[in-house]
Amino acid sequence: MEGARAARSARRISALLAACAAAVRCAKLSGIVITKVWHNGSIRAIGDAGVSPLSAGLLYGWGVFTTLGIVGGSPRHVDRHVARLAAHAERLGIPLEYDAAAFEAALADLIAADSIGDGRARITVVRGSAGPWRDELASPSDVWVLAASIESAPRSPLNLTLSPHRVNSASPLVGVKSTAYVAQLLAFEEARQRGFDEAVMLNERGEVVECSSSNIFWVRGGELWTPALGTGCLAGITRALVLEAASRLRIRAYESAATARDLYDADEVFCTSSVRGIQPVSELNMHRYPAPGPVSGRLVAWFGEEPAPPAPFSGKRR
């Protein structure tokens, strides 16, 4: 009897270990299996990219990252992403020994290895040792690059809400794309639990900052507006591209401090990020907008993106 119980216990433990080993060998991004990672200069199996338990990136979230779109097998705007990544790493005292050319090569290798057409990539840089719990033998920093295929499909307009969580515009991390990302995820999850797609975040002064994972723009009287960097928003790559495109299209654009009332009174609203591009907003807390509107439609056409299907519009509800 004891022998049979011991055998059953051993089988359960063996099955559990096998499941854990399988989980270590791959990871998932929105249902897409990721099996490879570029780690500190070479591609390896995802399970072999070990992280020290004393890594400052793991213990304290001491790291920075950037997310890039991949279109037709080519990563977009690598130079801009790496320049911002390097600036943010320097701001947080994280050594970064790789340049844009090294990351271009890493991304090309990962894209070729998994035959990626359209997708996304992420570059993460974390500090190796810092704080009271530290490994004195650790490398100054660790770098990981991931890439995954994502099926290209038209994106539906977004339904937004205001987040109850505030951004501290005086934080040393403000404007940094930091791996200490829990506040943004909490805002996103809270919005999703209430049935919304994304959360608009305000700072301690009640100024609009950004969404939990994107920058935000609005249009009033044919003019384009977005929060100024002083509000605490991220200097997004697509945000900069949209402002440059607006100049070329002779659309007046302003960076300014604004409140939720400015969004409610807008003629149209849209969000931007490197992965979603320009994504129109159809509703914000019962205030409705054409999605896309005339200005966001011109910008989408300028970037050659697949437009979102128009959302039904019956005017704003006050």
Both tokens assigned to 29: 């991004």
Report pLDDT for 29: 53
pLDDT tens digit sequence for 158-216: 999 999 999 999 999 999 999 999 999 999 999 999 999 999 999 999 999 999 999 99
Same structural domain, 92 and 226: no
Say how far residue 266 (Cα) sits from the centre of its chain: 25
Give which of 280, 276, 316 is closest to 297, Cα–Cα: 280
- In the beta sheet, which residues pair with residue 65? 124
Domain ranges, residue 286: 158-303
Same structural domain, 207 and 266: yes
Same structural domain, 177 and 286: yes
Residue 313 in any domain: the answer is: no
**At 192, which helix (H) or strand (E)?**
helix 182-193
* Residue 12 dihedral angles phi and psi, to the nearest 5°: -65, -45
3 state DSSP class of 10: helix
Same structural domain, 182 and 145: no
Same structural domain, 82 and 212: no
Residue 41 in any domain: the answer is: yes
- In the beta sheet, which residues pair with residue 34? 27
Say how far residue 81 (Cα) sits from the centre of its chain: 12
Give which of 136, 117, 143, 118 is closest to 57, Cα–Cα: 143
Domain end point (choices 149, 169, 193): 149
Report pLDDT for 136: 82
Same structural domain, 260 and 284: yes
Report pLDDT for 33: 73
**CATH number, position 139:** 3.30.470.10
3 state DSSP class of 13: helix
Residue 40 in any domain: the answer is: yes
Same structural domain, 110 and 228: no
Say how far residue 267 (Cα) sits from the centre of its chain: 26
Q: Which residue has the tokens 């939990």?
A: 212
Residue 274 in any domain: the answer is: yes
Report pLDDT for 85: 98
Cα–Cα dist 216/306, whole Å: 19
Residue 311 in any domain: the answer is: no
Same structural domain, 170 and 271: yes
Count of domains in the chain?
2
Domain end point (choices 149, 183, 204): 149
Report pLDDT for 134: 83
Report pLDDT for 184: 96
pLDDT along the chain (318 residues), means of 10: 46 37 44 84 89 91 96 95 98 96 97 94 95 85 94 84 97 96 96 97 98 98 98 97 97 98 98 94 96 95 68 42
Same structural domain, 162 and 180: yes
Sign of the four-CA dihedral 60, 43, 66, 199: negative
Same structural domain, 126 and 247: no
Cα–Cα dist 137/158, whole Å: 47
Same structural domain, 195 and 109: no
Domain end point (choices 149, 168, 187): 149
* Residue 157 dihedral angles phi and psi, to the nearest 5°: -60, 155
**CATH number, position 212:** 3.20.10.10
Report pLDDT for 16: 34
Both tokens assigned to 77: 């705007």
